[in-house]
Structure 1
Amino acid sequence: MQFKSKDFSEAERVLKIRKLKVGLTGRPDAAPVLNEIDLDIRAGETHCLVGESGSGKSVTSLAVMGLLPKDALEVQGGLIDLEGFDITAATHAQMRELRAQRIAMIFQEPMTALNPVLRVGEQIEEVLAMHTDLSGSEAKARVLDIMDQVHLPDVERIYRAFPHQLSGGQRQRIMIAMALVLDPDLLIADEPTTALDVTTQLQILKLIAEMQERHGTAVLFITHDMGVVAEIADTVSVMQKGRIVERAPIRQLLTDPKEAYTRKLLTAVPSLGPRMRRDGDGAKPVLEVAGLDMTYGGTGIFRKSKAVHAVQDAHFSIAPGRTLGIVGESGSGKSTVARCIMRLIDPTGGEITVSGKEISTLGRRALQPHRKSLQIVFQDPYRSLNPRWTVARSLCEGPINFGVSKAEAMKTAAELMELVELPRDALDRYPHQFSGGQRQRIAIARAVAMKPDLLVADEAVSALDVSVQAQVLDLLADVQKRFGVALLFITHDLRVAAQICDEVLVMQKGKVVEAGPADEVLLHPGHDYTRSLIEAAPGREWDFANFRALTGAPLTQGATP
């Protein structure tokens, strides 16, 4: 593996943080959110800040940007120095001038960071209008130039596009262009690749590195993905409960971690080596899909719109107790397959047979009795759980709708809370009172409460940090072992697919390009597209669990203990 090996000791220090303390607003006696944080970043250096959710990574970045929510958090001590300027003592007007010119930030979700009613070109121009004296034509030329630098296609068209008309990767490139249009000295990237598939993620990481090399920018990169850290970091700081517990150059951290918490983070990273093959028992499939097709458009009242083939002629089946993974880039058709199977959308062709019953053409009323056999766990549990309902009501609603008494449903709900390792008294709480990982456990419990034959997990762990992700994967495996449920697992993360799937189906542009046992597909891919997905996986040459590089050795089954 090729580590970065530059020496930044002689480079100009861009950011200096000393004994930074952030606490609850107006409550100096409360436990601090950030405690005694020390950090240095030099020109041209990429410093990665890693840790689990809630460790203080994003709070650190918001403090540097002067964006802490005033009614919730405040700096209670310490120094944040940006090339001689004390950010902790800056006025609102000074921080407005500082942002974009000397310090800029890329957020995790560009769709929420971009204004949905303004064209993206106009949004980049706003930065120039606020901080420069460029004329309208000069500003547009500068915008088109920076858009070209971030490798956006057909920049004139994209300049006029609205955010919803762009892909996730294109929106993130717009955010990078907006952040770098004024050549800031420090770029903060807060989980900028978390929601992206591996190929788009690789493109964004290369782009940030290229722009950094071109502009000499210092980068503070916040992530929970150790694979990304292995690819891009010069130095790494590990955060736990508001403190930096370990700091080291990337090679030293990955080969000789000192702290138990750092070792825990590294060993939680799933391996690309698939798990040992499990023999099937020859049972009749729970789910059989034949010739599935989903086409959008192609008709219109006044003019015929272009048809988009989201899924074309898909064939597969899943037996009880088995896991089939569908992998591919964003837009490959993975989630469309899941939504067709769940009958959240009506497929335009093919057959979907669940527990012996063909359901692809059933109407809403005829489909209702079969809903019990199909359950889904979505990517974001906070959006799929009703925020006004207690956990108990969310878990009991489905069984009660299918004739189970309230007393029996509550008894099952309490048992399921123990299954997902949450206390029984949590039944009386609301979703906002739980962490992301806990909410996902509740979503799984809600699905299992229906005693389904088929469980669909649509990117169910993609937004979780590695240690919580490992816990949720273990929980899904436990649920499958206890109840014999068939699992359809949708993911863009090949590491996750390797750990949980018996079979893997690879999709590209709506078509299945490769399918087979997980060990065959991942260890000996037969299609160029599958190989490109594997080669794009960050940190693929690193054995995180054993703190060593793979040095070109082939991956083996069960590489992660």
Structure 2
Amino acid sequence: MIGSASHPRKPGPSSELRAPVLEIDNLAVQVVGEPPVRHILEDISFNIRPGEMLCVVGESGSGKSVTSLAVMGLLPPGSLRTSTGRILVEGEDILKASQARLRELRATRMAMIFQEPMTALNPVEKVGEQIDEVLRIHTKLSRAERRAKILEMLDAVHMPDVERIYDSYPHQLSGGQRQRVVISMALILEPKILIADEPTTALDVTTQKQILTLIRELQKKHNTAVLFITHDFGVVAEIADRIVVMNKGRVIEVGSRDDILAYPREPYTRMLVSSVPSLVPKQRAALKSDIVLDLKELSKTYAGRGFFGRGRSIAAAQGVSLSVRKGEIVGIVGESGSGKSTVARCVVRLQDPTSGNILVHGDDIAKATGSQLRPMRRRVQIVFQDPYRSLNPRRRVGDSVIEGLINFGQRRDEALNRARELLGLVGLSADAMERYPHQFSGGQRQRICIARALALDPDILVADEAVSALDVSVQAQVLKLLDEIRERIGIAVLFITHDLRVAAQICDTIVVMQHGRVVEAGSAAEVLTAPRQDYTRALIEAAPGRDWDFQNFRPL
């Protein structure tokens, strides 16, 4: 039921009467140096008031992140520049500010949280020193006062053992902890406007819930205005006061959370909302086909390595047993560190299992090495999360698709014919063969990766977070494609994901992992509607927007 357990969080009357913290008026951004003027953004106008959470949504390339960079004064010089409009932060037009003034405004008046905390932090500097740099530049506090303020901030973001965290390097922290460090750095000087650009996309549902709760908590405490950029409509349903919908560099629709999600006016908005997968699993008949993949007591232990000899070993997967039938999609879900990707990499033999069996049509590939393993590799293929990194940017798409076929001795002309056939299967035209990866969208690149994986007629396809980096409309297209391929050619699919909505819509069977072990397994309907384990229930409870049915918004 739409909004059945949700409540509008519109700013109260006192907030609505206050002047906006951020006001964007008729903003346009264009590409530098092109004779015919090409705009990336056109006529962008909206505002945010104190204590308000404004979510900006839209497909990749809609202009969400460019808008945020323009606000921060971080547009790449020589590539993009503002051509018209104003960006007012507490009444001051930052487009007229000098670089020195912009540096002063950043952190003190406006701050930004980026999607990937590991790239936002210096890997060779302790996190306490990195937060301290903000205070050194913008305050006159003594070192002792700065340290005390940093420890207080780390405690405010619910970090355990703040003294240890202060002296840790980024790689010694979990993904959720690193994002908390970035939030600490952004909010240490209590800025009036916080920009969060996809800050929870790479996080599992429980960590995501913690970060969203934290941002809300700190926002209320400091009455901060938050510009939250995301393609996750579950997150939008959970936190938004108002929503701005963008498409192709323009604002399409602006309204309250309930208005946009329950009564979308524009066709583009209706398409986006209807693309959000439901948490209610589809009813699927139990398959009785042959077992293609059979894992028996699969384990993988990483031997620790320290500066002074052997360190602590880590059991990433312990006694994992599951099976995948012909034409079946089996999903593995769980938090980061649960062992999902370790199992996937062992199945495709990118990593050697420590013990156990990996049976493909009864043949055990777990112990195969060298010349024994090579012919078996064509039987199991993988599609990774990031399609751009999976493809060689210097090779034409046709050459990438046929690479495996050529390596296994097929003639080039036959391989090219097979590549054209496969590209047609994934919905791309034959002329894609002559183009390069950068000439395609993210969804098209993932289709190319799927075509390449299918080239060798594998028995099983492993999809490791294959749609988590895609926006909702493209995600829906790729999920539909995988379902069609599964039905058309009967391939077995092992689907790794942290998104329970995606698992609900595409998986026949769901396997739940925690700390390297299988804690629950069954049909998607059984696991998601009648979970037996507390851990599974906690995962479902943490799924953002779980009380919203995005498929059934009100008709116009």
Normalised by the length of structure 1, the TM-score is: 0.96
Structure 1 residues 520-529 or 249-258, which shifts more? 249-258
1:120-519 aligned within 5 A: 120-280=127-287, 282-297=288-303, 303-519=309-525
Q: CA deviation at 1:329?
A: 0.3
Aligned position for 1:77 = 84
CA distance in structure 2 between the partners assigned to 1:481 and 1:288 by the alignment: 20
In percent, how many aligned pairs have the same letter? Answer: 60
Q: 1:2 Cα deviation (Å)?
A: 2.4
1:253 shift after superposition: 1.3
Alignment equivalent of 1:539, drawn from 521, 528, 545: 545
Match of 1:4 in 2: 9
Distance of 1:107 and 1:184 partners within structure 2: 16
* Contact 1:3–1:230 (8 Å) recurs in 2: no
Partner Cα separation in structure 1 for residue 439 and residue 147 of structure 2: 46
- Whether the 8 Å contact between 1:28 and 1:76 is mirrored in structure 2 is no
Deviation at 1:435, TM superposition (A): 1.6
Question: 1:6 Cα deviation (Å)?
Answer: 3.0
SS for the counterpart of 2:445 is helix
RMSD: 1.3
Residues 86-97 of structure 1: pairs in structure 2 closer than 5 A: 86-97=93-104
One-letter code of the match for 1:136? R
Counterpart residue type for residue 66 of structure 1:
G
Question: Structure 1: any 5+ residue segments left out of the alignment?
Answer: 549-561
CA contact (8 A) 2:10 2:242 kept: no
Which deviates the most, 22-31 or 215-224? 22-31
Segment of structure 1 superposing worse, 113-122 or 319-328: 113-122
Q: What's the CA shift for 1:300?
A: 7.5
Q: What does 1:521-560 correspond to in 2, within 5 Å? A: 521-547=527-553
Distance 1:11 1:214 in 2: 17
- Aligned counterparts of 1:272 and 1:305: Cα–Cα separation in 2: 42
TM-score (norm 2): 0.97
- Deviations for 1:498-526, whole angstroms, at most 9, x for unmatched residues? 01100000001111000011110111000
Asked if the contact 1:347/1:360 (under 8 Å) is kept, the reply is yes
Deviation of 1:356 (Å): 1.8
* Shift in CA distance, 364/11, structure 1 to aligned 2, threshold 3 Å: farther
Q: Which runs of 4+ in 1 moved over 3 A?
A: 26-29, 298-304
| Whole-Å separation in 2 of the counterparts to 1:253 and 1:501 | 29
User: What letter corresponds to residue 10 of structure 2 in structure 1?
Assistant: S
Per-residue deviation, residues 103-162 of structure 1 (Å, max 9, x unmatched): 000001111111111111111111111111111111111111111111111111111111
Q: Secondary structure at the match of 2:312?
A: coil
Shift of 1:210: 0.4
Residue type at the aligned position of 2:438:
H
In the TM superposition, what whole-angstrom CA distance separates every residue of 1:189-221 from its partner, at most 9, and x where no partner exists? 000001111000000000000000111100000
Segments of 5+ residues of structure 2 without an aligned counterpart are: 1-5
Give the CA deviation at 1:298: 5.8
Query: Could you give the per-residue CA deviations for residues 326-362 of structure 1, whole angstroms, max 9, x where no partner exists?
Result: 0000000000000111111111111110122101111
| Aligned AA (2:184) | A
Question: How much does 1:31 deviate?
Answer: 3.1
Pick which of 507-516 and 417-426 moved more: 417-426
**Structure 1 residue aligned with 2:118:** 111
Aligned to 1:552: none
1:278 Cα offset (Å): 2.4
Q: Cα deviation per residue 1:243-272 (whole Å; 9 max; x = unaligned)? A: 111000111112211111111111000000
Asked if the contact 1:3–1:231 (Cα under 8 Å) also holds between the matched residues in 2, the reply is no
